Amino acid sequence: MDFRIVDDSNYPVHRSSIGLAITYGGGKREALKTIGHSIRESGETRYSAREIYNIVDRSFSEHGFLYLRDFAGNKINCSMTFPYERGTAALAVFSNEKHFTPEEIKNLLTENLQLMTNSNK
Q: What is the pLDDT of residues 56-101, one digit of tens each?
A: 999 999 999 999 999 988 899 999 999 888 888 899 998 888 899 9
- Can you give the C-alpha Rg of the chain in angstroms? 14
Which residues lie closer than 8 Å to 114 by C-beta, 6 or more apart? none
Reported pTM = 0.86
User: Angle at the Cα of 91 (from 120 to 38), degrees rounded to 5?
Assistant: 135
What gap in Å lies between CA 19 and CA 12, rounded to an integer? 8
The helix (H) or strand (E) run that includes residue 94 is strand 87-95
Residues 82, 65 contacting (CB under 8 angstroms): no
